[in-house]
Amino acid sequence: MTETQETMARVRARVDRAVARAGFAPGMTFEQVVRAVEGALGIRLRIVAETETAGWGTLTGFVTFFPERGEGSIHVRAADAAVYREFAASHELGHLLDDAHCAGAFWERSSIPPHDDPRLSSPEAEAELVAEHIAHRIAGLRYAGPRVAESSW
């Protein structure tokens, strides 16, 4: 097995554990997804649509987590489309479910793919891959059936 195959096997296993931890089910609303993560972690979460994002660069969202207070918040850009905000928030939910976060100030992080960002260590790059795969799983749950527009075709 190559190093890449080993990494992807670890990523898949971490994603499977995180998704099972939350108990996601097909057709959940985004609000239900957030509540499921809250229940899995025993914390309160809020999603904040930020309007002042001029200094964010390519950053699409970030999480603040205060375990000692049992709460956290996920910040996304208000100017993004709702489905994009949900995906960005889902990525951050993935970090919370995986208990793995990337280091560095949020203005240093961006949407650069992990394998293209030389500032990321291997564990950070793997954490980013896990969070991204969890976000894709959440999107799959949310949009498993035909979308409204497709139902009219």
Q: Look up the pTM and report it.
A: 0.82
For domain 3-146, is the CATH number 1.10.10.2910? yes
Tokens of 41: 């972690």
Query: Are 88 and 94 contacting, i.e. CB atoms less than 8 angstroms apart?
Result: no
Average pLDDT along the chain, 153 residues, taken 10 residues at a time = 87 95 93 97 97 93 92 96 96 91 44 50 82 94 64 49
Strands (E) across 25-127 are located at: 44-50, 61-66, 71-77
Identify the pLDDT of residue 145.
Answer: 61
Identify the pLDDT of residue 71.
Answer: 95
Identify the pLDDT of residue 44.
Answer: 97
Identify the pLDDT of residue 119.
Answer: 52
